[in-house]
Structure formats: C-alpha cells, structure tokens
Amino acid sequence: MTLNVILRLNNLKNINFAEVNKFFRYRKMGQMIELGRELLRINSAKNTVEYSKDGRNWIQRGPTFNRGILRDLCLFGQYVYAASSKGVYFSKDKGLNWWPKTVTPIYGEFQSLMVSGTQLYAVTSKGTYYSKDGGVNWIRT
C-alpha cells in the first residue's frame, strides 16, 4: 500500500495502520509541502524549516527549531503543522514562528502527521493516534 493510496482513502477504518507506521518509520527525509507559491521542507541536518520559490534554492525560515527534532510537516486548515520528537506544533506564518499543540510525553515521540478531512492523524513511537480538535487531544487507533 503506497502513501498516495493511504492519503486518498475516504474510509480510514480500512487503513492498515501497522503498514502506515512501517512506511513512516523508514522514511528518511521530512516531507516537503506546497504552500501557495512556495515549497516548505525540513532540513534535517540543521533541524530547520526552509522555503523555496523555485525548488532549487532553499532559504532558512526562522531560527533553528529548538522544540525537539523535526520529523514531518503538513497543512491542516490554514496552518502548517510540525511533528517533532517533543510534540506537535503549528505555525500561523508559514513556519517562521511555532506554537505548541501537544507537548506531553504521554503519546511518545511524534514521527509523522497526516490529514483526512477534519481529522489529524499521527504516528508516534507509542502507536497511531487521531485528533478531532486540531492536535490538542489524541485518541489511539
């Protein structure tokens, strides 16, 4: 099952979350997302968010991310969300500044994020979770 198929499924009850977890565990680079006329990505070596207007030249956006190790980015509503080893954060300004959504060790280290409709899904070191309130509270699948 490829990621494209997983993300396009309408009925998430049929997703094999063990396969999703396996896919994200072995993924080496952070996700690149399209944000208007820009691309946004994680520079894992520097633990920063970078942007590009042409896909070739990348510029650091904001300071080094000091809220754990950046693992993934996604768009949820009008905000950019980041999964890190210390929680889930969101940005109102395209990754320049970050605010916490979930910063508790209860869920483990966040590895990846996915969006389906109005729900946010996360794979963590302790399992797969979903949130109905934008990442404030998480329910184990």
Q: Percent of the chain scored above 70 by pLDDT?
A: 79
The pLDDT, as a whole number, for residue 19 is 53
> Model confidence over 49-80: pLDDT tens digits?
999 999 999 999 988 889 999 999 999 999 99
pLDDT at position 104 over 60: yes
- In this prediction, residues 101-125 reach a mean pLDDT of 94
Stated pTM of the model:
0.79
DSSP state of 13: G
Q: Is 62 left (phi over 0), alpha (psi -120 to 50) or beta?
A: left
| Integer angstrom CA distances of residue 100 from 10, 84, 134 | 29, 11, 11
**94 torsion bin: left (phi>0), alpha (psi -120 to 50), beta (else):** left
Task: Examine the pLDDT at 5 and tell me if it is beyond 80.
Answer: no
What are the tens digits of pLDDT across the range 17-37? 555 555 444 444 457 899 889
